[in-house]
């Protein structure tokens, strides 16, 4: 359930960010996720600290492992979001997001290499079926892939995979604390770092873009809120379960994405895209059976 909430909120965040197109550039759209999301991340940390479980200590169990993986995850997530938004320039909203859904394969490999979490054969099969659905959905009528959309989308998937594994490692790297406080602490630290780094870079290099982004506060706040609470759900789920399981189940986002593509942006999916979504749903069902 936590992962399903994360997928829904992440799709909402991407929709808000796409709504910023024409008002701000890709960098401004990415900053809106972190800059406007920071207050919501801190609010969530406060709620968890007082209503769910207290922090484990005065420095919240922070370790060097936590710090290293938080920085790696934060930087990878920034780059991944930029790549995802860039993919929208070469394919529609649904297809651009679909390419990034190859992330579970890369996340599974990274999880096995860095955390020793080797998926079962059933989980591997479920991931493979889901990725096949992505490929079917994004195959062009003439039988070839959109090379530029594929490059940006696959690059986005790789970076999202690195960030996902890094955030799980960071959360588990805290000395103490339960699932909720670990996830909320990691989220707040990462979002703070991302907001400061991107805000400082934009103030130095693109001050006009920063002003336009701050002026577009309404959709920006929507993207920030949806992004912060989506990340809260992702981080909590990935503290509970291996990244490969969480990200594979998270492919249900593509269903929400196609709904947004049709009803919000007025885009019409082709038959192959509908078949691809069907395969992704099958992959998710297989994953649920494998991890039941």
Q: For residue 129, what is the enclosing H or E element?
A: helix 121-138
> How far is 193 from 38, CA to CA, in rounded Å?
10
Mean local confidence (pLDDT), 251-274: 73
Nearest to 150 by CA among 86, 76, 244, 105: 86
**Sign of the torsion formed by the C-alpha atoms of 204, 15, 284 and 130:** negative
- Name the token pair of 283: 């992959």
Residue 210 pLDDT > 90: yes
Give me the chain's average pLDDT, please.
82
Note whether 68 and 246 are within 8 A (CB).
Answer: no
Residue 220 pLDDT > 90: no
Domain range holding 124?
2-291
Cα angle: 100, vertex 132, 103; to 5 degrees: 25
Q: What is the pLDDT of residues 3-58, one digit of tens each?
A: 888 877 877 777 777 777 778 887 888 888 899 999 999 999 999 988 887 766 55
Q: For residue 79, what is the enclosing H or E element?
A: helix 64-87
- pLDDT at site 202: 94
Surface-to-core class of residue 113, CB atoms within 10 Å of its CB (0-12 exposed, 13-18 middle, 19+ buried): exposed
- pLDDT at site 73: 96
- pLDDT: which is higher, 196 or 100: 196
Q: What is the pLDDT of residues 96-154, one digit of tens each?
A: 666 666 677 777 777 777 777 777 888 888 888 877 887 777 666 555 556 777 788 88
pLDDT level of residue 166 (50, 70, 90 thresholds): very high
| Structural domains of the chain, count | 1
Alpha carbon 214 to its chain's center: 23
> How far is 158 from 156, CA to CA, in rounded Å?
6
> How far is 43 from 9, CA to CA, in rounded Å?
17
- Name the token pair of 57: 């200590």
């Amino acid at each position: 359930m936590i992962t399903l909430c994360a997928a829904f909120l992440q799709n909402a965040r991407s929709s808000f960010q796409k709504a910023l197109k024409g008002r701000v550039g890709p960098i401004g759209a990415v900053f809106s996720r972190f800059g406007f999301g920071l207050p919501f991340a801190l609010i969530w940390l406060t709620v968890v600290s007082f209503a769910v479980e207290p922090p484990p200590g005065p420095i919240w169990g922070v370790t060097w492992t936590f710090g290293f993986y938080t920085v790696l995850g934060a930087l990878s997530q920034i780059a991944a979001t930029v790549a995802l938004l860039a993919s929208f320039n070469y394919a529609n909203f649904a297809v651009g997001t679909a390419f990034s859904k190859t992330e579970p394969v890369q996340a599974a490999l990274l999880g096995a290499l860095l955390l020793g979490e080797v998926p079962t054969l059933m989980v591997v099969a479920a991931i493979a079926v889901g990725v096949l659905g992505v490929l079917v959905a994004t195959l062009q009528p003439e039988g070839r892939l959109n090379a530029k959309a594929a490059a940006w989308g696959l690059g986005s998937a790789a970076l999202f995979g690195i960030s996902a594994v890094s955030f799980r490692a960071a959360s588990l790297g805290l000395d103490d604390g339960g699932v909720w406080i670990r996830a909320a602490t990691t989220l707040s630290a990462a979002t703070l770092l991302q907001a400061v780094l991107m805000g400082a870079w934009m103030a130095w290099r693109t001050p006009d873009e920063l002003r336009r982004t701050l002026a577009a506060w309404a959709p920006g706040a929507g993207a920030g809120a949806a992004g912060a609470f989506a990340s809260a759900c992702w981080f909590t789920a990935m503290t509970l379960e291996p990244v490969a399981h969480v990200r594979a189940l998270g492919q249900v986002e593509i269903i929400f994405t196609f709904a947004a593509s049709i009803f919000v942006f007025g885009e019409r999916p082709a038959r192959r895209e509908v078949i691809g979504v069907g395969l992704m749903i099958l992959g998710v069902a297989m994953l649920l059976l494998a991890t039941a």
